[in-house]
Structure 1
Amino acid sequence: MSAAEFAAAQWTRATGAGVDPHEYRRVTEDLTSVTDWGPAFLRTGHAYLQRAADAGSPFSAGEHLLTAARWFHLATLAPYAQAHRAAVEADRALGRALTLLEPSARRVSGEGFTGWLRGPADAPGTVVVVPGLDSAKEEFLDLVFALLARGLAVFAMDGPGQGVLAATTTFVPDYERVVGRVVDALGVTRIGLVGLSLGGYFAARTAALEPRVAAVATVSGPFRLDWQELPPPVRDLMAQRAGGADAAHAFVRHVDLTPLAPRIAVPLLVVDGGQDVIPGVTNGEPLARLAPRGTYLSVPHGDHLLGNARAEWLPQLGDHLADSLRA
């Protein structure tokens, strides 16, 4: 794949993550190879670190640091030698930003997870945001802001094999155990879950097996995966995050919500994009149909993660979780 093709494929994901579309074009238009992607995005992130250092107020510095975190995370989407450095830089920039912008934000870490708890202490509920195959807590800042605006507390996390933990841990099939440890560490009695991409599978599985989940939403989550049909780049990434090809193959065999969907007794919203067609991936309609309280929202022109159609699903998802957790 050429650099131009790769940049086009990541376009709505990057803009959906909150980077300026004009700057994205400027950064990517001169790339001659996909291998140039990571260094170019790292340079852009570092430029925002400098803007933060030169800022005239803590608020401006914090805003620049949030933007830096986005660019550093996006640097990890193409394979290159310093991908883990970019993930660490993203994690560090987000932490510095929240220290300035939200002094009440709290870093919470434990076995197999790390993340930031944000929002009011007396919130009617806490939503755990679960990333996917190559996403991380820094990618979904706008989703977090939408939930915070509804008065909820939010814990955006990296789990095993994700984000800043990707270099030192690998995927686990029983992700509900990780979320259980998160709930214990947060000290809450009930949570909402939103999972994005492969995180949608993790969230749905957890909602079926963890009794403290009170509401759940998935975005572009797989109902089932078929290893033989997955594109080679997806297989390679899965092998990297799972700890090898054999481990990835075994992990994919677990990704089938057929037996678990009927056990999801809480309100469930399943969001899919009609243009999200990845070979080997079954989208979420069967999940919504089999779950007792499932609702299906398909946006016909939406792509993977629906970064090109946020207005048509993000408000409804925020309301779904807020209303369910207040009930």
Structure 2
Amino acid sequence: MVNTSGSVVDLGKDNVFSAGRSSTRAFKDGYFDYNFLKFLGLATYSGAEIGECFETAHRIVDGDTESWTNAWQLTARRVEAYADEAFAGGHRCSAKEAWLRATTYYQAAFFVIHDKDPRKKQLYEKHTSCFQKAGALFEPPLQVLSIPYEGKSLFGYFLRVDDKPRPTVLIQMGADGSSEQIYFSGGGAAALRRGYNALIFEGPGQTGTFMRDNSLTYRADWEVPVKAVVDYALTLPQVDQDRIALIGYSMGGYMAPRAVAFEKRIAACIASGLVPSISVLAGERIAAIKAADGKYDHSQKYLLYEHMPKYGLHNGLDDIDEFGKYWHSFELYGLEDKITCPLLVVHAAAEGERSVKMAKEFFAKLPNPKNKFRLTTEDDGAEMHCQKGNAMLLHAIEFDWLDDVLA
């Protein structure tokens, strides 16, 4: 968090959740409030509607995950039914807009459901179905991708401006989003507005790819899946092979810089925010889980029962030490001289004093003079994790910089 002077104030272990003046305060539970803002913020690119979100919030019991899921599912079904009706009546624009909103509401519904619950897959499939129905009405229509990867495939989408070769952003989420969400929040729609193509992908362990094949789990050498994505991108005639950029969000703030340390066909990289070491920033969460004696908060349950399976670890607390070993391999330290392409870091102040300090110290060791570090604060209305609630500012920072470095 920051005070009015713009300096960083450490808020403790929950500082990325509902931390600053830009949060909605719709819920007392900070985890609920942060995620409500996340989904509400997708309204910027037609991924939600303000009244629908607040109406849904009023039906949610604060802190109750079943109530959260049921409320969002009801809204999603209602909006999807309107989309279907509009499409049957020939109202393509209304149908597209409603399917886009239903996409988000189905994601909100499954977001708090854990990996082993069968409702997760059912709601996820509704989430992707609505988005793909809307995408078929884009001009040009989006392409659903199956990117070859080690004899299997990675999931994603390709959105193009037209059929001319254009600069292209490869966009990936972090630990808990989806390709569909990234269209709204991660720059997919913003790219098209600015004349960029967007190839949105999910690597091994990430939601869409893992849903389709749970043998594909996270790996520290993220350059391997990114190589597969670049190989695929270069087969598309609409991609200018000399102007390919990579954007990574949240945990992607480790993955994207790691990838460009080795994948030199990428001309520029953006991280929101920069994560030099996952274990240093998040390792204390393991100790907190052990000390919780089974009384876990929302984020601890997510880590145990939703995030850890994406490393192939399905036994909850029994696997927590093995999980810690995995995290220790997710390090950027030692790669400073290899991250040579221009790098933009957009770091949120509510990540906390330690996170900002680590990111700045690592960034200062990188060699490219075109590198840029931008701290977003409460005064920007963008202090929250990954600038939730102010996507328009985030995308302006990202694409204005890309315009300059890819010119």
After TM superposition, the score normalised by the length of structure 2 is 0.73
Deviation at 1:182, TM superposition (A): 1.3
Partner Cα separation in structure 1 for residue 159 and residue 97 of structure 2: 16
Does residue 205 in structure 1 map to residue 258 in structure 2?
A: yes
AA aligned to 2:58 is: E
Aligned-residue RMSD, C-alpha = 2.5
Secondary structure at 1:114 match in 2: strand
Does residue 146 in structure 1 map to residue 190 in structure 2?
A: yes
AA aligned to 1:307 is: K
Residue correspondence of structure 1 range 182-201 to structure 2 within 5 A: 182-186=229-233, 187=235, 189-190=241-242, 191-201=244-254
Cα shift readout 1:194-222 (whole Å, capped 9, x = no counterpart): 11101121111111110111011011342
AA aligned to 2:284 is: E
Deviation at 1:283, TM superposition (A): 5.5
Sequence identity of aligned pairs in percent? 23
Partner Cα separation in structure 1 for residue 362 and residue 390 of structure 2: 22
Residue correspondence of structure 1 range 206-285 to structure 2 within 5 A: 206-226=259-279, 227-230=282-285, 232=289, 233=300, 235-236=303-304, 237-244=306-313, 245=319, 248-277=323-352, 284-285=359-360
Secondary structure at 2:179 match in 1: coil
Secondary structure at 1:31 match in 2: coil
Does residue 114 in structure 1 map to residue 164 in structure 2?
A: no
Cα shift readout 1:80-138 (whole Å, capped 9, x = no counterpart): 42122222222222111111123442222123411111113324311111111111111
Cα shift readout 1:232-263 (whole Å, capped 9, x = no counterpart): 42642431322213553233112221222331
Does residue 37 in structure 1 map to residue 48 in structure 2?
A: no
Structure 1 runs not aligned, ≥5 long: none
Q: Which has the higher contact order (CA 8 A, sep 6+)?
A: 2
Secondary structure at 1:156 match in 2: strand
Cα shift readout 1:151-184 (whole Å, capped 9, x = no counterpart): 1110112222222223323212222211111121
Residue correspondence of structure 1 range 16-55 to structure 2 within 5 A: 16-18=41-43, 19-32=48-61, 33-55=64-86
Cα shift readout 1:246-296 (whole Å, capped 9, x = no counterpart): 553233112221222331111111011111239989763234322222211
Does residue 76 in structure 1 map to residue 107 in structure 2?
A: no
Do the aligned residues in 2 keep the contact of 1:166 with 1:241 (CA within 8 Å)? yes
Do the aligned residues in 2 keep the contact of 1:192 with 1:213 (CA within 8 Å)? yes
Partner Cα separation in structure 1 for residue 283 and residue 322 of structure 2: 15
Secondary structure at 2:190 match in 1: helix
Partner of residue 173 from structure 2, selected from 95, 112, 131? 131
Do the aligned residues in 2 keep the contact of 1:215 with 1:321 (CA within 8 Å)? yes
What corresponds to 1:166 in structure 2? 210
What corresponds to 2:372 in structure 1? 295
Secondary structure at 2:69 match in 1: helix
What corresponds to 2:385 in structure 1? 304
Partner of residue 97 from structure 2, selected from 51, 55, 63? 63
After TM superposition, the score normalised by the length of structure 1 is 0.90
What corresponds to 2:293 in structure 1? none
What corresponds to 2:394 in structure 1? 313
Task: Specify whether residues 165 and 323 from structure 1 end up closer, same or farther in structure 2 by C-alpha distance, changes over 3 A only.
Answer: same
Structure 2 runs not aligned, ≥5 long: 1-13, 15-26, 290-299, 314-318
Task: Specify whether residues 296 and 279 from structure 1 end up closer, same or farther in structure 2 by C-alpha distance, changes over 3 A only.
Answer: closer
Do the aligned residues in 2 keep the contact of 1:123 with 1:151 (CA within 8 Å)? no
Q: How many residues align?
A: 325
Partner Cα separation in structure 2 for residue 200 and residue 292 of structure 1: 18
Partner Cα separation in structure 2 for residue 212 and residue 152 of structure 1: 17
Do the aligned residues in 2 keep the contact of 1:88 with 1:164 (CA within 8 Å)? no
- 217-226 vs 131-140, greater mean Cα deviation: 217-226
Off by >6 Å, runs of 4+ in structure 1: 278-282
Cα shift readout 1:276-323 (whole Å, capped 9, x = no counterpart): 239989763234322222211001221101113334432020122233
Partner Cα separation in structure 1 for residue 231 and residue 167 of structure 2: 15
Task: Specify whether residues 270 and 300 from structure 1 end up closer, same or farther in structure 2 by C-alpha distance, changes over 3 A only.
Answer: same
Higher-Rg structure is: 2
AA aligned to 1:66 is: L
AA aligned to 2:324 is: H
Task: Specify whether residues 50 and 278 from structure 1 end up closer, same or farther in structure 2 by C-alpha distance, changes over 3 A only.
Answer: farther
Secondary structure at 2:326 match in 1: helix
Partner Cα separation in structure 1 for residue 385 and residue 226 of structure 2: 24
- 7-16 vs 190-199, greater mean Cα deviation: 7-16
Secondary structure at 2:372 match in 1: strand
Cα shift readout 1:56-75 (whole Å, capped 9, x = no counterpart): 41122111111111222222
